A and B are shown apart, each in its own frame.
Chain A
Amino acid sequence: MNAPADAPAAPAASRARETLIELADVTRTYVMADTPHTVLAGVTLDIAAGEFAAIMGPSGSGKSTLLHILGLLDRPTSGSYRLGGRDTGKLDDDALSRLRNQAIGFVFQSFYLVPYATALDNVLLPGLYSDTPGAALRRRGEALLAQVGLSAQAGHKPSQLSGGQQQRVALARALVNDPDLILADEPTGQLDSATSAEIMGLLATVNREAGKTVIVVTHDQATAAYARRQILVHDGRIAKS
C-alpha cells in the first residue's frame, strides 16, 4: 500500500513484501440491449509482489473479467487499479500496450500460438515489440524453451506439438520479456491431469525461483492447490480472499 509510486523494479528480496496490485472498488458493467449488466460489483483487492494466487468461483462469476482488468486488456467502469504503484486509469492505449509488453505475461486456456510461426518464433513474439536487442532476445527465447523442456522442438509449428507442449511454449512466451506479473486464465483447462501438473509445476517454479507474481484463474481444485492464496469470486464480488 505504501509502495513508492515508481518502484516496480526493486530488488526481489524487498519486492516480496511490496504491494504489486491494488484494486479499489472496481466495477465493470456491460450494456447489452440497453440493459446494464454488472459483472464486477465493487472489487477491492491487494496482491503483493511475489504472491502465487488462484482466483476461483462459479462460471459467469466474473473471474475472466477480473483477470482482463488486471492484465490491462480491459478498463474498469469505475474504481481504480494501481499496478506497481502507478494509476493505470491515467494511461492511454499505447502506454497500456507498453506496460502489458514489459510488465505482464499471459497464459490462456487455448494457448493462442501463432499457427504459421515456429515454437521459437512464438516465444520471441512479445520481444519483437520490446527494446531487447535481437541477439539477446533470441538467446533468451532459446534458454526459456530449454527451461520448459522443448529445445528439440524449437523449429516445430504449433500443429506439430501436443497440447501440453503448446502450453509450455505459451508459458515461455509469457516470460520472454521478464515481466513481474504472470496472468493465466484456466491454463490447464484443455489439458489432462498429468500435463496440468507439469504446467502448474512450471508456474510454481517461476513464482518461487524467479520471484514472479502469478495469478491463475481456475475451476479446478488440484490446480488451485498450487497457489498459496485462494481468492473466491461470487457474483462479481470477492467472497473470500
Chain B
Amino acid sequence: MTAASRSPRRALRILWRIQRMALLALLAHKARSAFVIAAVAMGVAALTVIVASVDGARRKALEIVDFFGPDAVMVLGGDIENRPVGQRIYTLTWADARAVARSLPGAYAVLPMRSIRQITLKYDNRNHESPVVVGATENYARAWNWPLAEGRDLSEEDVARGAKVALIGDEPARQLFGDASPLGRTIMVKNLPVQIVGRLAYRGLSGGGSDVTIDDRIIMPISTLTQRFNLDRKYFRGLRIKFHDPDLIDTHKDNLRALLRHLHHLGPTDNDDFTIISASEILKFLTAFTGGLVAFLGITAGVAIVVGGFVLANLMFLSVSERKAEIGLRKAVGASGAALTAQFLSEALYLTLAGSLAGVALGVALGESLSRLGLLQLRLSPKVFVLSLAAAVVIALVFGLRPARKAAAMDPIEALRGGDD
C-alpha cells in the first residue's frame, strides 16, 4: 500500500531529476540539436502561416460581406458566371432602374452606378493616378454602410443638377491633401473641376490580393459622370438595391430576376443577360477561394511537419546508438525502462518545443512579409501558439517514441559492450 502510494511521486521525482541531464545531453550535441530544431521550425512556420492566413482570409471575407451588406444585392450587366461570347455587358437601363424602384416588393433603395478608371486627379501641383471614379445616385455613403469622416453625402439635387461635386476616398484624400481637410476644395478630375463635399472614412480592405484598395476612389453624381465624360446615356454598369428585410433576401432575388427577365423580354430558354450578387454569393466565392488555400497550405504544412518528425526520429536513432554506453550504464545503476523512455522523450520534447518557438517566430516574420507584399492577409492569434505547441508535443511523442523505446529496451550488457542491439 505504501509502495503503491509512493510510486507515482517517485516517478515524478525521477522525471524531474533527469531533466537537467536531458538538457546537458542536447547541449553536448549542438549541431544535431540545431538541425532538429530547424527541421521542426520549418514545419511549424508553415503551420503558423497557414493558420494565420486562413484566419485572415476568413476575417476578410466577413469584412467584405459586412461592407456589402446582408440586406443588399448588386445587379451587373451581362452574365458573369457563364460569360457567353460576345454578350453585351451594358444591358441595364435607366428604365430598368425605374421599374425596379417602382414595382419590386421590399426594396427601398435602387442605386444605379457606373465607374471609370484611367483618370488623373489633380490638386495644386499634386497628381493622383487612376483611382476608381464612381458615378452614383444620392446617399451613396449610406447605401454602402460607409461612414463619412467629414462633410455630407451626395444629395438628390446633386444628381438632378449634374452637380460638379464629389465624395473623396481616403487614399486620394491623403495623396492630394495630406493631413489637411479636402472639404470645399476643388480638384481636377481629368479636365473637370469638381468640389469635394464629403470624405469617406478609411475602410482598409484590399481588393482581393491586388494593391488596389477600396479607399482609392472618388464618387460623383452618375448624371455628372455620364454627361461630362461622354458615357452611354442609356445604360449603366451596375445597380445596387437595398431591401428592408435581410432574411427575405433569397425571395427578393427571385423576384428581381423575374422582373429583369420580363423587362429584357427574355424567353424561357434564354440565359440571363445580367448577374445578381448578394452577400452569400460573395461568401461562397471567398470560401471556395479560402478552401483552395487551406488545402494547399495544409498539405504543405503537413508535409513540412512530417519531414520535421522524420528528421527528429532519425537523429534520435543516431543518438541512441551513439550513446549505447551511457544507456547501458544508466540501466546498470538502476534506471528503469520507463526512466530511459522519459529521458529520451524529454530530449525530443525540448527540441520540438524550441523548434516550435523558432517556427512561430519564423512564420510570423514570413507572414509579415507576405502580407506586406500583399500576397496574403494574415491574422495572428493565440490559436497559432497553442497549435504550434500542440504540434511540438505531437511530433515529439509520435516520432520520438520509437527511438526512446529502443533505448529503454536495450540489454545493459550488450549496450555497455557497445555491441549491436
Contact = CB atoms under 8 A, between A and B. Distances in A.
Interface of A: 68, 71, 73-74, 93-94, 97-98, 100-102, 106, 108, 110, 112, 114-117, 121, 125-126, 128-131, 134, 173, 177
Nearest to B24: A116
B329 interface: yes
A71 B336 CA distance: 15
14 contacts: A73-B331, A94-B338, A102-B334, A106-B333, A110-B325, A112-B329, A112-B416, A114-B21, A121-B21, A126-B334, A128-B21, A129-B14, A129-B334, A173-B333
A126 B333 CA distance: 5
B20 to A, nearest CB: 8
Contact of B332 (A106, A116, A121): A106
Interface string B386-421: 000000000000000000000000001100100000
A72 to B, nearest CB: 9
Q: Which of B329, B335, B339 counts the most chain A CB atoms within 10 A?
A: B329
Contacts, number: 70
B334 A101 contact: yes
Chain B interface size band reads 20 to 34
Interface string B334-367: 1111110000000000000000000000000000
Contacts of A126: 333-334
Given A116-B24, A121-B21, A134-B17, A97 B329 contact: no
A50 to B, nearest CB: 23
Interface of B: 10, 13-14, 17-18, 21, 24-25, 27-28, 325-326, 328-339, 412-413, 416
Nearest to B27: A116
B257 to A, nearest CB: 76
B334 A97 contact: yes
Nearest to A68: B413
Nearest to A183: B332
B192 to A, nearest CB: 79
A116 B28 contact: yes
A94 B412 CA distance: 13
Given A114-B326, A131-B10, 17 more contacts: A73-B412, A74-B413, A94-B336, A97-B334, A97-B336, A98-B336, A100-B334, A106-B333, A116-B25, A116-B27, A117-B21, A125-B329, A128-B21, A129-B330, A129-B336, A129-B339, A130-B334
Contacts of B413: 68, 73-74
A79 B339 CA distance: 30
